[in-house]
Structure 1
Amino acid sequence: MTTPSGRRVTMVAAVAENGVIGADADIPWKISEDFAHFKATTLGHVLVMGRTTHEGIGRPLPGRTTIVLTRDTDWSAEGVRVAHSITDALELADELLREQPADRQVMIGGGAAVYAAALPYADEQVISEIPLAPEGDTHYPEFSRKRWQEVRREPRGGFTIVWWERVFACNAG
C-alpha cells in the first residue's frame, strides 16, 4: 500500500538464515558490499528507523532525511525528525516527500519493532539474505510468502539480495 501521498514504502534489511538481524544492538556480521547496497538503496529517500538503530549508528546517515521512531516523547537528536508511531512516521514522511521530487520513497531501515510495525504498510521488501546463522537477540518479522512475490534475486559476494513485492488480492465480486 502506498502512502497517502502515493509514495512507496520499502523495507530494507539484511537477514541471516535464522532470521537474526542483530545482536546486542549491533549487526553480527560485517559485509561491506551489503552496507554499500543499503546506502545505494536508501540514498536520497526518507529513511525511518528506530531509536536503538539510530543510536547504534551514532549519527544521521548522509544523503537521507531520517525519521527516528521512538516511544520516548522526550527523546531528540540533532539532524533527525522524531515520530512516536509508525503512522505518525509515515504521515511525516508524506509531508517531507510532498516537498521533494516524485521519485523519492519511504525506506524502513530497522530495527525489529520498526520492521514489524511497518510491514502492513510496505509495498516492497529488499532483503539481503546472509548465509549465516549467528546468535542474536533481534529478528526480522515473519511474513506470509502467500502475500509477497519474489520478483528479483541477485547473488552478490557472500550474500543474495531478494526483492519482494506485495501481492494484492483482487476480489472478482
Structure 2
Amino acid sequence: MKLSLMAAKSKQGIIGNGPDIPWRAKGEQLLFKAMTYNQWLLVGRKTFESMGALPNRQYAVVTRSDFTSTDENVFVFSSIEDALAQLDTMTNHVIVADGGELYASLITQVDTLHISIMDIEPDGDIFFPMIPDTFTLVFEQGFESNINYTYQIWQKSQ
C-alpha cells in the first residue's frame, strides 16, 4: 500500500493552534479537496471532529478515546498500526491528512509528501515534523492568494 502525506504549514512549521488551522488561504483548500477526492484519508480524531467528513472520501480515524461513527465511510481504529494493517486489505493508497501525532509517527513511512507552505507566521501550538533527508523535492509552485503559499511535492529516495 502506498502512503502519501498532505499538510499545510506556516513558514515556521505551525500546522495548528489547538483544533484550528490558524489561516484561511483561498485556493489552498481546493487543492486539498481535489487531491483527496475518492481517496482514503488517515486522520486523528481531533482533526476529524474539526473538519468533519467531506463527501466522496473514506476515513480511517485513529483515536485513544471512545469515539464512534455511524457513517459508513468512517472507520475508527485504536492505533496507527491497526489502521494501517486493516487499510492494507482495503485499498492500495492512503493519504495521511492531518494530526500532528500522525504526521510525526508516519513521516518516515510515507512515499510522497504534498506540502503547502503558507507565507504567514501565525501563533500555534502544533508543529509539522522535520522532513527527513530521505526525501527529495521534485516539484514546487508558488500561488498568489489572500495568503501566498508554495505547494511542494517531495518523493522518498529509493
Partner of 1:137: 125
Whole-Å Cα distance in 2 between the matches of residues 93 and 118 of structure 1? Answer: 14
Find out whether 1:165 has 2:147 as its counterpart.
no
In 1, distance between residues paired with 2:151 and 2:79? Answer: 29
- Distance in 1 (CA, whole Å) between partners of 2:18 and 2:134 is 31
**TM-score when scaled to structure 2?**
0.91
Find 2:41's aligned residue among 22, 47, 51.
47
Whichever residue aligns with residue 22 of structure 1, its letter is G
For the residues of structure 1 that align with 2:70 and 2:121, how far apart are their CA atoms? Answer: 35
Q: Tell me, in whole angstroms, the C-alpha distance in 2 between the residues paired with 1:152 and 1:84.
A: 35
- SS across alignment from 2:59: strand
| Matched residue, 1:37 | 31
TM-score normalised by L of structure 1: 0.84
Separation in 2 of the partners of 1:45 and 1:120?
Answer: 21
Structure 2: which 5+ residue stretches go unaligned? none
User: Which of residues 59, 69, 77 is equivalent to 1:77?
Assistant: 69
Letter in 2 for 1:63: N
| RMSD, aligned α-carbons | 1.2
CA shift, 1:95, in A, is 2.1
Instruction: State whether structure 2 residue 139 is matched by structure 1 residue 149.
Output: no
Query: Equivalences for 1:99-110 in 2 at 5 Å?
Result: 105-110=93-98
SS in 1 for 2:19: coil
The aligned length equals 153
The gaps in structure 1 that reach 5 residues or longer are: 1-6, 98-103, 169-173
Three-state SS of the structure 2 residue aligned to 1:162 is: strand
Residue type of the alignment partner of 2:116: S
User: Which structure shows the bigger proportion of residues in strand conformation?
Assistant: 2
For the pair shown, the structure with the greater C-alpha radius of gyration is 1
> Which residue does 1:171 correspond to in 2?
none
Query: 2:17 is matched with which residue: 10, 23, 26?
Result: 23
Counterpart of 2:108, as a letter, is: P
Relative to 1, partners in 2 of residues 1:12 and 1:42: Cα closer, same or farther, differing over 3 Å?
same
| 1: CA distance, partners of 2:19 / 2:11 | 19
Q: Matches of 2:125 and 2:43 in 1, distance apart?
A: 17
Equivalent position of 2:115 in the other structure: 127
